[in-house]
């Protein structure tokens, strides 16, 4: 028997619930600021105290994978009740803090939603048509526009090293999406004769859709920041702090090579640790005896010429685990990227996406 919660069955797939939360909410939860996460969710219309408590509670206890608390787990039940009273209810009923009076009259800051729309327009993407559930074949033009946008950002300002790396990494993402689509198409042709074809299609579609949702989440979190920086410089991002990691952008804006690298590394770590974590967790949760993470880890290649495969840098590692993935990035991929001459980096970033996917490096 379980402790009765009003949304008891709603978080059965905790990884899927977490990955569909807004990036700002996930960042607040993972940074240990549940009150801020509750306020953000409440501002978006989520005010059910039991549901909000479940979200905060299961962030603290990912090992439960969203299941309800059992009657024998009295300490967990008491923790849940305490969270509802001291965190969720308190955050929902706290009066809003009065806004500080500006020292001098200032023009209103452009909101994040506006920057996000401007980024979408710059990329040529209609948000109403960006539906990862539709699959790679339908979403291929949008996938390509995302990485073309990254390339354009880098070409506009070569201190935007994250954008250049995103274009290179896009080659391997594109390769992975193409492989899953080829698997789906091949299995569909033999579905009448091979009993495992439906299972193979289900697994490949699941991975493909998660990769597409991950791409959309990265764009939603980082594209608007780059758009604001390109159009409005550092002040545009300072005006919407703490929605953006302003310290990282101050480093990038400094123009100092060491600080520029540090700022871009901070953006990359945010992408990997905050934005992508729930998507990789959902891949681990696919009931396939961990065969998909093992295959991904064995086949992951560096998007940078001269970089080593994941399996060589982290033997026996799991690419869906942040610590293993970051070790690969920090000790091999980033050094290989940062050591490139500006001319060679420019040449690689501007290579066609299909060539990057096939690792057909331009001569140089």
159/254 Cα distance (integer angstroms): 10
Q: Which of 206, 149, 199 is nearest to 177 (CA)?
A: 206
Cα separations in angstroms, 360 against 109, 342, 348, 353: 44, 19, 10, 10
- Radius of gyration of the chain from Cα atoms? 22
Is position 9 within any domain? no
Co-location of 63 and 159 in the same domain: no
* 44 in Cβ contact with 36 (< 8 Å): no
Q: What percent of the chain has pLDDT over 70?
A: 90
Q: How confident is the model at residue 6 (pLDDT cuts 50, 70, 90)?
A: very low
CA end-to-end span of the chain: 66
Co-location of 216 and 276 in the same domain: yes
Q: How confident is the model at residue 24 (pLDDT cuts 50, 70, 90)?
A: confident
Co-location of 117 and 89 in the same domain: no
* 34 in Cβ contact with 56 (< 8 Å): yes
How many CB atoms are closer than 10 A to CB 125?
A: 19
**pLDDT at 65 exceeding the cut of 90:** no
Q: Which residue has the higher pLDDT, 190 or 157?
A: 157
**pLDDT at 16 exceeding the cut of 80:** no
Is position 102 within any domain? no
Which pLDDT belongs to residue 347?
A: 97
330/336 Cα distance (integer angstroms): 10
Secondary structure class of 52 (helix, strand, coil): helix
Range of the domain at 43: 14-93
Which segment of 96-105, 134-143, 339-348 scores lowest on mean pLDDT?
Answer: 96-105
Which segment of 15-24, 52-61, 63-72 scores lowest on mean pLDDT?
Answer: 15-24
User: Stretch 291-314: mean pLDDT, rounded?
Assistant: 96
Co-location of 51 and 145 in the same domain: no
Name the H helices within 257-321.
257-270, 277-284, 291-299, 310-313
**The residue count for the chain:** 364
Overall number of domains in the chain: 2
Q: What is the mean pLDDT of the chain?
A: 89
**pLDDT at 7 exceeding the cut of 60:** no
Co-location of 339 and 272 in the same domain: yes
Picking from 44, 59, 93, the residue at the C-terminal end of a domain is: 93
Work out the angle at residue 328's Cα, subtended by the Cα atoms of residues 152 and 252, and round it to the nearest 5 degrees: 40
**pLDDT at 53 exceeding the cut of 50:** yes
Which pLDDT belongs to residue 92?
A: 87
**pLDDT at 192 exceeding the cut of 70:** no
Co-location of 80 and 176 in the same domain: no
Cα separations in angstroms, 200 against 175, 188, 209, 214, 291: 18, 9, 14, 21, 12
Co-location of 124 and 73 in the same domain: no
Work out the angle at residue 226's Cα, subtended by the Cα atoms of residues 258 and 212, and round it to the nearest 5 degrees: 110
**pLDDT at 3 exceeding the cut of 80:** no
For 294, the token pair is 């093992």
> Residue holding tokens 């640790």?
273
Co-location of 76 and 127 in the same domain: no
pTM for the full model? Answer: 0.72
Co-location of 139 and 52 in the same domain: no
How many CB atoms are closer than 10 A to CB 226?
A: 28
Q: What percent of the chain has pLDDT over 90?
A: 67
334/302 Cα distance (integer angstroms): 10
114/138 Cα distance (integer angstroms): 27
**pLDDT at 194 exceeding the cut of 80:** no
**pLDDT at 4 exceeding the cut of 50:** no
Q: How confident is the model at residue 63 (pLDDT cuts 50, 70, 90)?
A: confident
Co-location of 242 and 151 in the same domain: yes
Q: How confident is the model at residue 17 (pLDDT cuts 50, 70, 90)?
A: confident
Q: Which residue has the higher pLDDT, 3 or 208?
A: 208
Q: Which residue has the higher pLDDT, 319 or 199?
A: 319
Co-location of 181 and 43 in the same domain: no
User: Stretch 203-221: mean pLDDT, rounded?
Assistant: 96
Secondary structure class of 151 (helix, strand, coil): helix
Helix 246-254 and helix 257-270: axis angle, to 10°? Answer: 150
Picking from 36, 60, 93, the residue at the C-terminal end of a domain is: 93
Q: Which helix (H) or strand (E) holds 16?
A: helix 14-19
For 313, the token pair is 């840098």
> Residue holding tokens 């001319």?
343
Which segment of 45-54, 94-103, 139-148, 271-280 scores lowest on mean pLDDT?
Answer: 94-103
């Amino acid at each position: 028997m379980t402790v009765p919660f009003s949304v008891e069955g709603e978080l059965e797939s905790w990884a899927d619930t977490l990955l569909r939360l807004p990036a700002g909410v996930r960042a607040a939860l993972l940074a240990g600021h549940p009150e801020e996460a509750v306020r953000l969710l409440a501002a978006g219309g989520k005010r059910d105290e039991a549901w909000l408590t479940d979200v905060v509670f299961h962030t603290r206890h990912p090992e439960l994978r969203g299941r309800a608390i059992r009657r024998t787990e009295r300490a967990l039940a008491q923790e849940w009740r305490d969270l509802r009273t001291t965190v969720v209810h308190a955050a929902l009923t706290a009066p809003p803090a009065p806004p500080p009076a500006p020292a001098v009259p200032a023009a209103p800051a452009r909101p994040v939603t506006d920057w996000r729309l401007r980024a979408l327009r710059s990329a040529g993407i209609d948000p109403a048509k960006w539906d990862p559930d539709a699959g790679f074949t339908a979403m291929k033009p949008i996938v390509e526009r995302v990485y073309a946008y990254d390339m354009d950002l880098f070409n506009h300002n070569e201190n935007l090293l994250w954008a250049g790396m995103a274009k290179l990494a896009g080659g391997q993402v594109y390769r992975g999406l193409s492989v899953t689509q080829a698997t789906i198409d091949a299995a569909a042709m033999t579905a009448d004769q091979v009993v495992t074809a439906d299972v193979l299609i289900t697994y490949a579609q699941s991975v493909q859709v998660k990769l597409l949702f991950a791409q959309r989440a990265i764009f939603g979190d980082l594209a608007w920041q780059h758009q604001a920086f390109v159009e409005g410089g550092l002040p545009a991002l300072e005006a919407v702090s703490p929605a953006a990691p302003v310290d990282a952008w101050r480093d990038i804006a400094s123009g100092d090579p060491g600080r520029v690298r540090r700022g871009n590394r901070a953006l990359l770590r945010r992408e990997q640790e905050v934005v992508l974590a729930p998507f990789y967790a959902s891949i681990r949760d696919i009931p396939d005896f961990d065969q998909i993470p093992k295959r991904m880890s064995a086949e992951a290649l560096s998007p940078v010429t001269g970089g080593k495969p994941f399996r060589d840098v982290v033997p026996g590692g799991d690419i869906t685990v942040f610590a293993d993935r970051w070790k690969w990035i920090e000790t091999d991929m980033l050094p290989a990227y940062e050591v490139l001459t500006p001319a060679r980096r420019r040449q690689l970033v501007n290579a066609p996406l299909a060539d990057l996917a096939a690792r057909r490096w331009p001569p140089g």
